[in-house]
């Protein structure tokens, strides 16, 4: 999937260190160049575009956790709707009343009703989970808290990993076997396909040969967000290049993400009317 970066080359598929990603300001970020090979082959390209790359562990503590929380809350919303229907209450209550109010008004009285106590217990259990998830979501910047959340909801984490492994999670692409500059890093990384940034050609040519913080200061470019140095001894340089057919597959996923066209769903019941002549459309 990877090969060593070629001397003097900064082209589509090149992975370099000290990149920038909006939600990972405290983390080490790599960049994956997406500028077309034919453009990158010309030494005077004014701008190189790239998408950020972060380790799987780093991603799971931020974007992965956010996706997990949103999915759990969506599942809980569906569960609450089913519970309400089971006791002949309208799910529309969820849109106009807080869960606590619904619980106190409609379910708390069921605690002493043997026939309905199971509904009380189910609503109470899911309400506690809902509150727990909301608290976790509010502390997304606390890595230790999020680690605890990932352990509690490990089944949801496994579901995300399965989607990542099959590259079915829209907006993200799993890279395996990345050899980063940090020996403590794992080798699984995630490409953030939705977040596109750019580097001036003059800066990219510095990264090709290796770029230290002092090199950027010498250029007096205080407006640059990439390369981004966290520590004084950081060094921005190409660390690898994604080979074919994986780079083409990544670019295909990238293209589909931004170039897909949505159209209105067709009502299947209306379509079924076309089968009336064979006795199936009524």
Residue 240 in contact with residue 15, Cβ under 8 Å? yes
Contacts of 79 (CB under 8 A, 6+ apart): 126
Other Cβ atoms closer than 10 A to 179? 12
> Burial, 239: exposed, middle or buried (Cβ in 10 Å; 0-12, 13-18, 19+)?
middle
| pLDDT tens, N- to C-terminus, the chain (282 residues) | 888 887 888 899 999 999 999 999 999 999 999 998 877 666 667 899 999 999 999 999 999 999 999 999 999 999 999 999 999 999 999 999 999 999 999 999 999 999 999 999 999 999 999 999 999 999 999 999 999 999 999 999 999 999 999 999 999 999 998 877 666 666 899 999 999 999 998 899 899 999 998 887 766 566 678 999 998 889 999 999 999 999 999 999 999 998 877 788 888 788 888 888 888 866
CA-closest candidate to residue 32, choices 173, 248, 191: 191
Taking the whole predicted model, whether its pTM rises above 0.85 is answered as: yes
What's the pLDDT score for residue 221?
A: 61
Partners of 51 in the β-ladder: 32
User: Residue 97, Cα to own-chain centre: how many angstroms?
Assistant: 31
């Amino acid at each position: 999937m990877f090969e060593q970066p070629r001397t003097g080359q900064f082209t589509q598929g090149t992975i370099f260190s000290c990149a920038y990603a909006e939600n990972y300001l405290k983390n080490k970020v790599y960049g994956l160049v997406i500028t077309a090979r034919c453009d990158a082959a010309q030494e005077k390209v004014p701008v190189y575009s790239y998408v950020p790359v972060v380790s799987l562990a780093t991603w799971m503590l931020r974007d992965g956790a956010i996706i997990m929380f949103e999915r759990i809350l969506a599942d809980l919303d569906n569960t609450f709707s089913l519970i309400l229907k089971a006791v002949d209450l309208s799910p529309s209550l969820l849109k106009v009343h807080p869960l606590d109010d619904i619980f106190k008004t409609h379910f708390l009285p069921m605690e002493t009703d043997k026939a309905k106590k199971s509904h009380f217990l189910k609503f109470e259990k899911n309400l506690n989970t809902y509150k727990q998830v909301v608290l976790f979501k509010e502390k997304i910047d606390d890595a230790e808290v999020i680690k605890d959340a990932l352990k509690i909801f490990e089944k949801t984490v496994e579901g995300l990993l399965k989607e990542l492994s099959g590259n079915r999670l829209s907006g993200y692409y799993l890279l395996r076997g990345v050899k980063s500059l940090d020996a403590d890093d794992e080798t699984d990384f995630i490409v953030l396909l939705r977040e596109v940034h750019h580097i001036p050609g003059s800066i990219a040519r510095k990264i090709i040969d290796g770029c230290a913080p002092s090199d950027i200061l010498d250029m007096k470019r205080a407006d640059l967000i990439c390369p981004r140095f966290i520590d004084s001894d950081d060094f921005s340089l190409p660390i690898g290049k994604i080979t074919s057919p994986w780079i083409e597959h990544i670019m295909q996923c990238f293209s589909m993400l931004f170039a897909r066209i949505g159209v209105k769903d067709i009502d299947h019941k209306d379509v079924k009317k076309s089968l009336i002549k064979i006795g199936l459309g009524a």
